[in-house]
Amino acid sequence: MIRTASWGCGLQSTTMIAMSVLGDLPILDHVIFCDLGWERAETYATLDWYTEFIEEAGVPVHVLNTGHIKDQAAHPHIHMPFWTDQGGHLRRQCTRHYKIRPTRRHLRKLLGLHPTLPPNPPSRAVEQWIGITTDEFTRARTSELDYIVNRHPLLQAGMSRNDCGRYLYEHGLPIPPKSACIGCPYRKASEWIDIRDNAPEEWEEACLFDQYHRHLPDMPPNPNSLDADTVYIWTGREPLATADLEASAAREHTADQLPLFLLPLSEALPSERQETC
């Protein structure tokens, strides 16, 4: 059995891998990151810094270039979970297309097999770590494939998201930002405000992306709406560029936020590695 970790460069999966590197969890054989081509600059900085940190421990990091979600996010069977004028959102298909399937194909290659053709890997050939914490335990699932055994080390350790932040802070490691593509429709108002105020180029990209995809021609018609194909990346179902984000941010639950003493990546980098970012 090979032991692998699915790495999104976010807080939980990064903490899980750091715990392995530092000896608080068993050592990994491989770490896999799927690059959607439209991550935040801070996420790519996290990728660069922690890749060196992980590989110094002898664990290879595999970066899979799985496409460019910015250009393909409205395609049928691939699309993001855009918010619709009906109040809900489209089914999220991007994760399976850009992360789950490429990871499974790569796992087969690591086992010495063709990425898609028979034979199938032997039962329980892969132990796959997934960074899920106690505050999102409902996301934990068993694998639908016989050759993959899903493990959730942070859940087993009883760790919350805040516990992950504390762990990295106490070990002098950088605190990653939330991992999601720039135009992810699941972003909270506070996240959009952060992008708007601190990453104006990414904010402009997101607003243009939102405007460009206002109408999706491939969506099935809805008899209950005259404008059923109207979609948004902001959960408020209005143009991101003009949304009242401050009002929405004020209603967010502060319990979901990390403690204020935790530093962002740019400030938390140990001085000897700061130049790598």
Of all residues in the chain, what percent carry a pLDDT higher than 70? 86
The pLDDT assigned to 225 comes to 41
> Given pLDDT bands bounded at 50, 70 and 90, which one contains residue 260?
very low
The pLDDT assigned to 253 comes to 63
What is the residue-averaged pLDDT of the chain?
Answer: 88
For the segment 126-143, what is each residue's pLDDT rounded down to a tens digit? 999 999 999 999 989 999
The pLDDT assigned to 73 comes to 82
For the segment 224-257, what is each residue's pLDDT rounded down to a tens digit? 443 446 899 999 999 999 999 999 999 886 544 4
Whose CA is closest to 180, among 5, 9, 6? Answer: 9
- Architecture category of domain 2-259 in CATH: 3-Layer(aba) Sandwich (3.40)
Question: Over the chain, what HEC string results?
Answer: CEEEEEECCCHHHHHHHHHHHCCCCCCCCEEEEEECCCECHHHHHHHHHHHHHHHCCCCCEEEEECCCHHHHCCCCCCCCCCEECCCCECCCCHHHHHHHHHHHHHHHHHCCCCCCCCCCCCCCCEEEECCCCHHHHHHCCCCCCCCEEEECHHHHCCCCHHHHHHHHHHCCCCCCCCCCECCCCCCCHHHHHHHHHHCHHHHHHHHHHHHHCCECCCCCCCCCCCCCCEEECCCCCCCHHHCCHHHHHHCCCHHHCCCCCCCCHHHHCCHHHHHHC
The pLDDT assigned to 165 comes to 96
For the segment 146-201, what is each residue's pLDDT rounded down to a tens digit? 999 999 999 999 999 999 999 999 999 999 998 999 999 999 999 999 999 999 99
Residues 6+ apart with CB under 8 A from 196: 203, 245
The pLDDT assigned to 162 comes to 95
Does 63 have pLDDT greater than 60? yes
pTM of this structure:
0.86
For the segment 75-101, what is each residue's pLDDT rounded down to a tens digit? 877 779 999 988 788 888 899 999 999
The pLDDT assigned to 210 comes to 96
The whole-number average pLDDT for the span 94-121 is 96
Domain ranges of the chain: 2-259
For the segment 184-196, what is each residue's pLDDT rounded down to a tens digit? 999 999 999 999 9
Whose CA is closest to 87, among 225, 261, 212? Answer: 225
